[in-house]
A and B are shown apart, each in its own frame.
Chain A
Amino acid sequence: EVQLVQSGAEVKKPGESLRISCKGSGYSFSSYWISWVRQMPGKGLEWMGRIDPSESYINYSPSFQGHVTISADKSISTAYLQWSSLKASDSAMYYCARHPHGMDVWGQGTTVTVSS
């Protein structure tokens, strides 16, 4: 079965760092781009950026460039989304998704709560 499994919910304080993960299985992880998508409570979907796991080539949305870091380790079929200094406004659900054409496989989501 093709799936993306994300790391568990996180509760952090403002200013802390965080890395969440997305592990692919059931397919050739290096063959498909992985995107990250943010969904703030009660809001729509926002595309954050994507990575080509084979070459680690990355595109960032201008809205997220400089605020997050996307990376991948193809040897363990895992993509990452990282913050160096969290803000309360980073509280949201974060999804990873595979995309050949459209995003056809999604992770279950990781809830990030940032609160003092």
Chain B
Amino acid sequence: EIVLTQSPGTLSLSPGERATLSCRASQSVSSSYLAWYLQKPGQAPRLLIYGASRRATGIPDRFSGSGSGTDFTLTISRLEPEDFAVYYCQQYGSLPLFTFGPGTKVDIK
């Protein structure tokens, strides 16, 4: 079973700043089957990035994903007010468990 660790747990930033979120896997993630999601309070999660670096449909280009193997990064180049939320990474390449990370909360400084 692959375990995902996200850091930091909380990131306090101001609008316009750059955010860098980390996701580390306990084993290599198969074929970069790594996704990132954003979840706002009271809403379902929304897919941002899949395949480690591919933006999902409709996702602004201020969101970018990178990494391979066991280390992955989500970067938000300039935070907009609507970006303050919880971000989860997920590996979907290795059964029996498509693991989610514990999440990183990005809040307003």
Q: Which of B23-68 contact A (CB under 8 A)?
A: 33, 35, 37, 39, 44-47, 49-51, 54, 56-57
Segment touching A, from B10-18, B70-78, B96-104: B96-104
Which B residues lie within 8 Å of A63 (CB)?
Answer: 97
Closest partner residue, chain A, to B35 (CB atom): A102
On whether A47 and B98 interact (CB within 8 A), knowing A95-B45, A101-B51, A107-B44, the answer reads yes
Which A residues lie within 8 Å of B46 (CB)?
Answer: 106
Does A99 sit at the interface, judged by CB under 8 A? yes
Which A residues lie within 8 Å of B57 (CB)?
Answer: 104
Does A90 sit at the interface, judged by CB under 8 A? no
The reply to whether A44 and B35 form a contact with Cβ atoms under 8 Å apart is no
On whether A102 and B95 interact (CB within 8 A), knowing A45-B100, A95-B45, A107-B44, the answer reads no
The reply to whether B50 and A101 form a contact with Cβ atoms under 8 Å apart is yes
Closest partner residue, chain A, to B46 (CB atom): A106
Interface size class on chain A is 20 to 34
The reply to whether A47 and B95 form a contact with Cβ atoms under 8 Å apart is no
The reply to whether B44 and A61 form a contact with Cβ atoms under 8 Å apart is no
Closest partner residue, chain B, to A65 (CB atom): B96
Selected contact of B45 from candidates A59, A61, A106, CB within 8 Å: A106
Tell me the A residues contacting B by CB distance below 8 Å.
35, 37, 44-47, 50, 59-63, 95, 97, 99, 101-104, 106-109
Tell me the B residues contacting A by CB distance below 8 Å.
1, 33, 35, 37, 39, 44-47, 49-51, 54, 56-57, 88, 90, 92, 95-103
- Which 8 A-B pairs rank lowest in CB-CB distance, beginning with the nearest? A102-B50, A102-B35, A106-B44, A45-B100, A47-B98, A101-B50, A104-B47, A102-B47
